[in-house]
Amino acid sequence: MNVGIVGSSPLAAVVARRLSKAFRVHVLAPEWPTEHLQREIVPVQDLAALSQQCRVLLVCAASAALHDAAGFGARLPSGTTVVDLNSGDPADAQALAAELQQRGIGFIDAPLHCESHAALPEASAITCGGPAGAVAAVRPLLEAICPKVIDFGDAGNGRAAALVVATVAAANRLVTYETAAMGFCNGLSVEDMGTVLTRCSGNNSGTVRLLPAIAAGRTTADVPLRSVVADLTLASQLAAKVGAPMMIGNLVRSLLQAESNRLGSAAGLDDTFSRFHDATRQSADRAQAVA
pLDDT for 69 equals 56
pLDDT for 36 equals 59
pLDDT in tens, 81-114: 999 999 999 999 999 999 899 989 999 999 999 8
- Residues contacting 196, CB < 8 A, separation 6+: 202
Please, which residues bridge with residue 125 across strands?
A: 113
Query: Which among 150, 47, 48 is positioned nearest to 108, based on CA atoms?
Result: 150
Rounded CA-CA distance 142/124 in Å is: 12
- Look at the alpha carbons of 275, 279, 281, 285 in this order and tell me if their dihedral is positive or negative: positive
pLDDT for 246 equals 95
pLDDT for 58 equals 94
| Extents of the domains making up the chain | 2-154, 160-290
Query: Which among 31, 21, 27 is positioned nearest to 3, based on CA atoms?
Result: 27
pLDDT for 142 equals 95
Rounded CA-CA distance 37/16 in Å is: 9
Query: Which among 126, 124, 128, 125 is positioned nearest to 151, based on CA atoms?
Result: 128
| Alpha helices for the chain (secondary structure H) | 10-19, 47-53, 69-74, 90-101, 132-145, 157-185, 190-197, 205-216, 225-242, 247-263, 272-290
- Amino acid identity of residue 144, one-letter, is A
Do 131 and 107 form a contact (C-beta atoms < 8 A)?
no
- CA dist 116 → 26, 125, 152, 153, 254 (Å): 24, 12, 24, 27, 23
CA atoms within 13 A on the CB side of 90: 26
Superfamily in which the 160-290 domain is placed by CATH: N-(1-d-carboxylethyl)-l-norvaline Dehydrogenase; domain 2 (1.10.1040.10)
Query: CA end-to-end span of the chain, whole Å?
Result: 70
Please, which residues bridge with residue 27 across strands?
A: 5, 43
pLDDT for 71 equals 66
Rounded CA-CA distance 142/137 in Å is: 10
Per-residue pLDDT of the chain (291 residues; tens, 9 = 90+): 889 998 877 888 889 889 988 899 998 766 666 665 666 788 888 888 888 889 999 998 665 556 665 567 778 889 999 999 999 999 999 999 998 999 899 999 999 998 888 777 777 899 999 999 999 999 999 999 999 999 999 999 999 999 999 999 999 999 988 888 888 888 888 888 888 888 888 888 888 888 888 788 788 888 899 999 999 999 999 999 999 999 999 999 999 999 999 989 889 888 887 666 555 455 545 545 555
pLDDT in tens, 39-86: 678 888 888 888 888 999 999 866 555 666 556 777 888 999 999 999
pLDDT for 165 equals 94
Rounded CA-CA distance 84/50 in Å is: 16
Burial of 22 (0-12, 13-18, 19+ CB in 10 A): middle
Do 71 and 46 form a contact (C-beta atoms < 8 A)?
no
- Residues contacting 131, CB < 8 A, separation 6+: 106, 108
Rounded CA-CA distance 36/118 in Å is: 16
Query: CATH class for domain 2-154?
Result: alpha beta
- Amino acid identity of residue 19, one-letter, is L
